[in-house]
Chain A
Amino acid sequence: DAEITQSPRHKITETGRQVTLACHQTWNHNNMFWYRQDLGHGLRLIHYSYGVQDTNKGEVSDGYSVSRSNTEDLPLTLESAASSQTSVYFCASSGSGTGELFFGEGSRLTVL
């Protein structure tokens, strides 16, 4: 069965460290997204990609970057982690022309 997987599922890091969260999907979807979820804010879009070599900023992109070198993967990098980036991160994907998102299981990141 097709799926979308995230790793690591849990990570604790220190302020200033670089962190990369991996996202891998086997749906062969063109569209991939990173959201963060915080209490009281729902899901907020960080970055998204509509295909290989395409990346776009979402509403809360400061301090984050992504790259899309193939269809399956969209890693999210925190260049210099800050305590404000403590959150649960969800990767999601969708096929072209549909609105439905398929979500990964989430990565809980704690920045101390």
Chain B
Amino acid sequence: EDKVVQSPLSLVVHEGDTVTLNCSYEVTNFRSLLWYKQEKKAPTFLFMLTSSGIEKKSGRLSSILDKKELFSILNITATQTGDSAIYLCAVDSGNTGKLIFGQGTTLQVKP
């Protein structure tokens, strides 16, 4: 059975801290791994990763994929209160948008 597992499930940090969120997966036909950020409403897209070792970066957020060890990490540096959200990891196992999601990591950034 295809599975995506995120850790930790929740995290509380203070502004300025750096955090690393983890996502491991077991799927039969990997195509890509995606990260989403979910605040009050709909998840919003952050990154799509398809190749090992190539870092994707957007401002203070970055992510990398290891297809040999079957995991990805999402780093957030110099965290701000606006980074407080649920971060969702998902794997596309058929390039058809049928994503398998992990449980999510709830990040709370305190002032």
What is A's interface to B at a CB cutoff of 8 Å?
Answer: 31, 33, 35, 40-45, 48, 50, 58, 90, 92-94, 96-106
- Is A99 touching B104 in the complex (CB atoms < 8 A)? no
Q: Distance in Å from the Cβ of A37 to the closest Cβ of chain B?
A: 9
Check A103/B92 contact, CB under 8 A, given A41-B103, A43-B101, A94-B97. no
CB closest chain-B residue, reference A58: B98
With A42-B102, A43-B88 known to touch, is A99 a contact of B97 (CB < 8 Å)? Answer: yes
State the total of A-B contacts with C-beta under 8 angstroms.
67
Interchain CB contact under 8 A, B41 and A105: yes
Chain A residues with CB under 8 Å of B9's CB are 40
Q: Which residue of A lies closest to B93 (CB)?
A: A99
CB within 8 Å for A101 and B95 given contacts A42-B104, A43-B88, A106-B41: no
Closest-by-CB residue of B relative to A103 is B42
Q: Is the CB of A42 within 8 A of B41?
A: no
Nearest-CB distance from B8 to chain A (Å)? 13
B92 to chain A, nearest CB (A): 4
Query: Which residues of B29-62 are within 8 A (CB) of A?
Result: 31-32, 34, 41-45, 48
Indicate if the CB atoms of A42 and B101 lie closer than 8 Å: yes
- Expressed in whole angstroms, the minimum distance between the Cβ of B33 and any Cβ of chain A is 9
